[in-house]
Each structure stands twice: as C-alpha cells, then as structure tokens.
Chains A and B, each alone.
Chain A
Amino acid sequence: MKMNGGSALVKALEDVGVEVVFGYPGGVALPIFDALYDSKTLRNVLPRHEQAAVHMADGYARVTGKAAAVIVTSGPGATNTITGIANAYMDSIPMVVFTAQVATPVLGTDAFQESDITGITLPITKHNYLVKDANELVDVIAEAFHIATTGRPGPVLIDVPADVSKHEIEYKWPESVNLPGYKPTYRGHAKQIKQAVALIAKARKPLLYAGGGVLGSGAWKELKELAEFMQLPVVATLMGKGAFPEDHHLSLGMPGMHGAKYANYAITETDLLIAVGVRFDDRVTGKLAAFASKAKVIHVDIDPAEIGKNKAVDVPIVGDAKSVLAEMVAELRKANAEPRTDAWLRVIDDWRARFPFHYHAHEGVVMPQYVVERVRELSKDRPTVICTEVGQNQMWACQYTQLREPRTWVSSGGLGTMGFGLPAAIGAQIGRPGHLVVDIAGDGSIQMNSQEMATAAIEKLPVKVVLLNNGYLGMVRQWQELFYDHRYASSTLAQDCPDYVKLADAYGWLGLRVTDPADVDAALLKAFDHDGPAIIDFRVAREECVYPMVAPGGSIAEMLGGIAGGPVSEMLDGELLEEVWE
C-alpha cells in the first residue's frame, strides 16, 4: 500500500495497537497531524504543553501497562518533552515519543526550529532514532515499541524529518524485529532460584522488598502467592506501591526516608532481604552500609546492571519478576517448605502497634494528613487511582493512602518531577475512564502544569485535584526548617495567589475551598460525585512537616519525629525477640 511517511506513521501506530496519542502540532509535524486527522481508531488528546503530553502518556502507561504515543514538533516542541522523558526513563515507564524534525537537506544548518533532539535525549531514553530514510520508518516504529515495552521498559524517541513524513513509501508492517544486541533475559537461572529458595525456606526473619519492577512485569499475583505461602512480610517502595495490597496483614508499606518506622526497622533487622524489581535507591536505603546490614540479599531484576549497583548481593537473579517469583513458589511447594516467621511477624506487629504514622491535630486547623486520610476513607467503595504531585503532598499520600489494587498509583519516583501530577492524572483518567482519579497536590507543584486544567475540561476528564495548599514549597521549607536554621529562602508562595476557586471557574472546573476540618468530608464527597473535573483548595496547616524522617545520608534505623522511640537496638531487648533468636 502506497502512502506518505506521515500516514505510514499513523497506520503503524494503529497496527501496533496504540489507543491514544498525546500530540501537539507545529510546522514540520503537520504531515503527521494531517494523517492523524483521518485516523478512525486513535484518540488524539491535545495538551497545552509538550511536557504535559509526556506526563499524560506516563500516567496512562502506569495505570494500563500499555505504551502510548506522544507526537510533537521540532525544536522547542521537542525540547519541551525533555523533563517528561527523563521522568519516564527514571521510573522505567514505556512510551514512544515522536519528534518532528527539519527536513534532511537542512539538518545541521541551525534551521528554524531545529534542535538535535536525539543528541539531547541520548542519556534519558532507552533508545532513540533519527529516521533519514522514509523506507525505514515503519520498521523503526515496530522496533521502538518492542524496545519500549519489553525487558526493563522505558521511553524511546523517534525523530522524523519533514521530508521523511512527506515521502511516498510502500507500507509494510514487519513480521518481526531484528535486534541482535537486544535480548532481555526473562527466565531466571534455575540454579540461582534454587539457591534463593533454600535461603527463603530456612530464614527466620525474611523480608520481601518489592518495587516498580513488580508492577512493570505484572507480577503482583506471584508476589502475593510467595508472601502468603511463606508468610513473608512485604515492604513496597514508592514505585511499588500497590504491588501488594496495603490492607494485608503482611504489608509494611513504604520504607525509606519518609517510610514507616516499622518498615525501616524490619529492613534493619531482617536476616534475608528478598529484593524484587527494585534498585536500592538512596531515598530507600539511606546510609548504604547500615541498610539491611544483617541480611543476606537476594536480588531479582530484569536489568543486570541494577544487580550489585548499590548493594552487594548474595544471590543475583536476572529475570522477569513474574516468571522468577512463580518459579520460586513452585520450588518451595515442591520442597514442602513451611513458614517459619511466626515470631518475626509478632515482633513486626509490635513495632506496627507502637510506631504508627502519627500527627498532631490542632483545633480548627485542616491538617494535610487528615485530608489524605479522608480521601482514603471516602474513596474506599469506589475504584480509585491516586496520583500525586511531588513534595510533602506526595509523602503524605504515600503514608496515609491504602491501595488494594495494582496500577492505581501514579507518582513521580526517581526524578521527583514537580508538575507531574495533574497531567499524569489526566493520562490515568483516559486509561481508566471508570475510576475516580484523584491528584493529591501541593500548591507549588500544581502551578507548574496548571494550564492542563483546560485539557481536562475540554476532554471531559473528571479528575479531582485535592490541593494541600500551605503557601510554601513545603518540602523545601521543611529542609530549611530542619537543616538551614528556618531561613526560608525562595520557598514562600501565597495561599491566596492564585485564587484556586476563581481559577477553577475560569477553566470550567468545580472549585471549592475548605478552611475548617469539619467541612473536609462534604467537600470531598461533592467533588467525587461531580461529573466533571474539580479542585478543592484545602487551606492546610502551613508549617507542618512530614514525619517520620531519616536525615539525608543517615541510617534508616534512626528516624526523626513520629512517636519517640529509641534506636532499634534498644527496642529489640524485649522477650519477643528472644523467641526469634531461640
């Protein structure tokens, strides 16, 4: 079938099974958009900024597991995608970003709206392409989606010069892709798995440490099966939130800098850390030398470069979490292994009872943690996706929500991108149209992409922004309070500027303001039941800090704030531990 490059690009997206395109046109992208105009199956969403387009594709991928396409023009259109791409790369989110480019005869001449986008995105893409021959375009698209969605997922960029998208070619979808240098390992090494299983069977204080890889691989069933079969407690990282049901008695929630004390104590005391799809990020580990220092470590990851990168590993297993966990369970069943964690779970339950997340309520003041708690309670009976911005709002969302389903959590992990939440929530709403999609937001972060309120309104996407408005860059202010002698340099915003209710009005959103804790429930319910997008401006306690907290570079066994408790060594003198060490 003869067609031009732009039409071939659109047909290739249809053939690869893409459902939605987040696209922002411009000069040299017009041949592609002209073809998109005719597509019967692709939903084309027009954001208000190219960065937001990428975050939308990101949010969509996190809730569906599917790669969306982003299409933008050359030059500034392309460079505006950088933060979004870097964010997806850090969190291993699949997507394919198409950037239009100036025509090949003028490439490298500093032509109008030219930028070397493949050069710029080299370190933040899983792979990228500059297509100079229109005849290669379709094969490249097939490769790009294959690369983005297999192995350790990630963003792939394709730069398409204007003459390539105008050139007439013969369309043929390739039957297979040929990438001699790309063969991800899915099956774990049998001997390594046996070795891991032997350790799991005899461990007295084992701990599962689950991350984004569990969600990426779709391994939540297998994770739960392993945890339940051997009665292993589970900590899940910010990226792995939702991979294990948080209302489960074996769930310890999030570890790390603002994690649960009991999660961090469990890591400190465990004798066998079973790490699955994690990368031992510094926000989790704190001081590496003190992290799980009493434990043997099993590390399962599809990316061999993650194994041993930060933490020395006793049993490395390169493979897909789903396949490896399933094999582990099968081996344990074959060996008639039995749980031995009774005493260990009692120690953990004791910690859990003594060191829960905790904040002090003040009369008449809306506490941000309280708002998140109410979001959790009032959304219990509805299928819900929780998105977050970045900063204090994100940490409170981690601490006080309780997710029971995988892929219902959308938060910028590795890059910590302010401005992520709203566009990601829009993408998530497109991926899960029947869900209540809530963006737990801060007033700093929301302003970085608030123009997307227009996209939500026009696309009729009923996202709900729960704005914890404290008039500060809250996390920055918290660090300045704790480590910079209360000198709030450049971190003070204004609670009443902009006026979020008027802003909502301007965009055709429902806008509500809450200044009294007694009104929290009514406002949340009104927003949740509203059939369009809504924002609630919660005027929260201005100088509230996120606790507990591990000081930067400190050991995760030593946490500031929350209920006073001694370092872990003191707490472990009790008789409970005697039983563990019997």
Chain B
Amino acid sequence: MQNKHTLSVLVENKPGVLTRVTSLFARRGFNIDSLAVGVTEDPSLSRITIVVGGNDTSLEQVAKQLHKLINVIKIQDLDPKEMVDRELVLYKVNAPADRRHEIIEIANVFRTKIVDVGKSTLTIEATGAGDKLSAMEDLLRVYGIKELARTGKIALSRGLRDSS
C-alpha cells in the first residue's frame, strides 16, 4: 500500500551522518519528499525528519536498514493522528502599491507575518501544516510569486494526555 510516512530519526550529531541516512533511501529506491535536520535539546544528538512515500513493507525494510547505521539512535514512524507537524515557507510576492493591502489582508487572515517590504514585493513568512500553506500559496499565486523557499516538515509525537 502506498502511503506517506513521517519518520523522525534521532542520530548522533557527527559529520557525514546525514549522508549515511539519505543515501540509504536513494539506494533502496525511495524518493525523499522533504527533509529537515537540526540539533536537539541534547547537543550531541540531531533529529532528522523525513517525509517519504512508499509501500508499507518496503518502508519497514528501509527503517530496519536505517536502524543498522551505527550513528542512528532511534527511529519513529510518526502516526499522523498522534503528531504535531509544522513547515515554514517564505513567499516573495509581486506587490504593486495598489494591490499591497490585498496581500496584507491575506497574510492577516492566515495569521502569517510580513517580514520584508520591497519597492514592488512583499515577503511573507508562514508556518503551519502542509494544507494551510498550500491554500495560502494558491491565493498568492494570483499576484505572482517571484520566489518561494520551503523548509522540510518537522514533527514531534504528541505528549501523553492527562488521564485525570
């Protein structure tokens, strides 16, 4: 069965570890949809968040192979219902003076921030889940998106609910 998976991979923060992880996906024929890496609360560890599509059995095989990498400490295949995930996008949008207020309005509706104002452009910083960002992108496209930069998804499993 083809499915999108969000893998959260805790690794030792050492040179070359990202290459080991990503080349393993390539070798096993997987295309990585998105990737985000950063150091964790423990500076000796990094977290790599990988979004990847593929059938469940071959993905299980990749996860097992990942586990064999000496620098990989822990792998979680995050359950979409039990995780919090975010992406960050920067949009540089065409903004002639007469239409500027419309774009600002859209930015406000989506609770995003204008982070740069140029002579003929506005740059908007947006965070959120993927579908919200796609909806916003559709609206901004009308004005012309000059440039767009998007981070990979980062995600954590939700905290345990209070049982009382």
Q: Which residues of A contact B (CB under 8 A)?
A: 118-119, 122-123, 126-127, 130, 147, 179-182, 303-305, 308-309
**For B11, what are the chain A residues with a Cβ–Cβ distance below 8 Å?**
181
Complex CA distance for A119 and B20, rounded to whole angstroms: 9
In the complex, how many angstroms separate the beta carbon of A306 from the nearest chain B beta carbon? 9
Q: A305 near B23 (CB under 8 angstroms)?
A: no
- Do the beta carbons of A305 and B68 come within 8 Å of each other? yes
Interface residues of B in 66-119 (CB under 8 A from A): 67-73
CB pair B70 A304 closer than 8 Å:
no
Contact between B16 and A123 (Cβ–Cβ < 8 Å)? no
Q: How far is the CA of A308 from the CA of B64 in the complex (A)?
A: 11
CB-defined contacts of B72 to chain A, threshold 8 Å: 181
When distances are taken between beta carbons in the complex, the residues of chain B under 8 Å from A147 are 70
State whether A303 and B68 are in contact (beta carbons under 8 Å apart), knowing that A122-B23, A181-B11, A181-B73 are contacts in the complex: yes
| 19 residue pairs A–B, Cβ–Cβ below 8 Å | A118-B16, A119-B19, A122-B19, A122-B20, A122-B23, A123-B23, A127-B69, A127-B70, A147-B70, A181-B11, A181-B12, A181-B73, A303-B68, A304-B67, A305-B61, A305-B65, A305-B67, A308-B60, A309-B61
A126 to B12 Cα, complex, angstroms: 16
Question: Which listed residue (A123, A127, A304, A305) contacts B27, Cβ 8 A?
Answer: A123
In the complex, the answer to whether A182 meets B27 with C-beta atoms within 8 Å is no
Contacts of A123 in B (CB 8 A): 23, 27
Query: In whole angstroms, how far apart are the Cα atoms of A308 and B56 in the complex?
Result: 13
Q: Which residue of chain B has the shortest Cβ distance to A307 in the bound complex? A: B64
Q: How far is the CB of A123 from chain B (nearest CB, A)?
A: 6
Point out the residues of chain B lying under 8 angstroms from A127, CB to CB.
69-70
Chain B nearest Cβ from A107, distance in angstroms: 12
Residues of B with C-beta under 8 A to A305: 61, 64-65, 67-68
Nearest Cβ on chain B to A545's Cβ, whole angstroms: 35
Within 8 A of A (CB), among B28-87: 57, 60-61, 64-65, 67-73
Chain A residues near B68 (CB, 8 Å)? 303, 305
A180 engages B67 (CB within 8 Å)? no
- Smallest CB gap from B74: residue in A: A181
- Chain B residue, CB-CB nearest to A303: B68
Is the CB–CB distance between B16 and A181 below 8 Å?
no
Partner of A180, one of B12, B19, B61, B69: B12
Contact partner of A304 (CB less than 8 A), chosen from B20, B64, B69, is B64
CA distance A309 to B60 in the complex (A): 9
Asked whether A180 lies within 8 Å of B73 as measured between CB atoms, the reply is: yes
Q: Are B20 and A181 in contact (CB under 8 A)?
A: no
Q: Which residue of B lies closest to A304 (CB)?
A: B64
A304–B11 Cα gap in the complex (Å)?
19
Find out whether the CB atom of B70 lies under 8 angstroms from the CB atom of A182: yes
Residues of B within 8 A of A303 (CB): 68
Residues of A with C-beta under 8 A to B69: 127, 181
Q: How far is the CA of A152 from the CA of B15 in the complex (A)?
A: 24
Chain A residue numbers with a CB within 8 Å of B70 are 126-127, 147, 179, 181-182
A123 to B69, CA, bound (A): 11
Chain A residues within an 8 Å CB radius of B12: 180-181
Q: A180-B12, A181-B12 are in contact. List 19 more A-B contacts (CB 8 A).
A: A122-B19, A122-B23, A126-B70, A130-B16, A147-B70, A179-B70, A180-B73, A181-B11, A181-B70, A181-B71, A181-B72, A181-B73, A304-B64, A304-B67, A305-B61, A305-B64, A305-B65, A305-B67, A305-B68
In the complex, what residue of chain A is closest to B26 when comparing beta carbons? A123
- Residue numbers in B under 8 Å from A182 (CB-CB): 70
CB A183 to nearest CB in B, in angstroms, measures 10
Min CB gap A291→B, angstroms: 17
Q: How far is the CA of A126 from the CA of B70 in the complex (A)?
A: 8
Residues in B whose Cβ lies below 8 Å from that of A180? 12, 73
Cα of A303 to Cα of B65 in the assembled complex, Å? 9
